[in-house]
């Protein structure tokens, strides 16, 4: 297994960002936790001390939920209405819980995956670098 060496010279195993992120565990040690609450990030890992200041998933989790969960849930609601024209209470019992479940439940694992991927791939802020001078 590949190793990662931190700034203090300690070896850490390279952990799969999908496995650690979906479980909400620290991307460096795999034992600590990323979250302090449902979606609030901790300041750092309580086990290995990794600071989560680098982590900025921004709107990534919401984007994935909108694309892959909300669209099918709304499609279900529209097809149910068009095909069966049910009374409003049927939508309250079927569409509302389906939409809430598919929109809220995946947010935490997706945010964890994105944070762990940022650590794993050493993602950083993009910088514009001037091209090297061309000899004339």
pLDDT at 3 over 90: no
- For residues 103 and 14, the answer to whether their CB atoms sit within 8 Å is no
In the prediction, which pLDDT does 8 show?
65
Residues 33-77: pLDDT tens digits? 999 999 999 999 999 999 999 999 999 999 999 999 889 999 999
Q: What 3-state DSSP class applies to 51?
A: strand
E strand or H helix at 22: helix 17-23
Q: What average pLDDT does the segment 70-99 reach?
A: 95
Distance between CA atoms of residues 95 and 91, nearest Å: 5
* 89 pLDDT higher than 70: yes
Give me 134's structure tokens: 């061309």
Tell me the pLDDT tens digit for each residue of 106-130: 999 999 999 999 999 998 888 888 8
Q: Tokens standing for 92?
A: 């309250």
DSSP 57-104: -TTHHHHHHIIIIIHHHHHHHHHHHHHH---HHHHHHTHHHHHHHHHH
pTM beyond cutoff 0.85:
no
**CA 23 from centre of chain:** 11
Q: Tell me which DSSP letter residue 43 carries.
A: S
Average pLDDT over every residue of 73-91: 96
């Amino acid at each position: 297994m590949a190793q990662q060496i931190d700034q203090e010279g300690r070896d850490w195993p390279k952990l799969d960002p999908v496995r650690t992120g979906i479980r909400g565990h620290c991307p460096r040690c795999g034992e600590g936790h990323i979250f302090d609450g449902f979606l609030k990030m901790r300041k750092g890992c309580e086990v290995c001390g990794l600071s989560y200041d680098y982590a900025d998933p921004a709107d990534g989790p919401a984007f994935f939920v909108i694309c892959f969960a909300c669209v099918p849930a709304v499609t279900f609601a529209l097809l149910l209405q068009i095909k069966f024209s049910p009374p409003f209470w049927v939508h309250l019992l079927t569409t509302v819980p389906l939409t809430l479940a598919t929109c809220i439940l995946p947010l935490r694992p997706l945010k964890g995956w994105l944070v762990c991927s940022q650590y794993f791939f050493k993602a950083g802020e993009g910088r514009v670098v001037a091209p090297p001078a061309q000899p004339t």
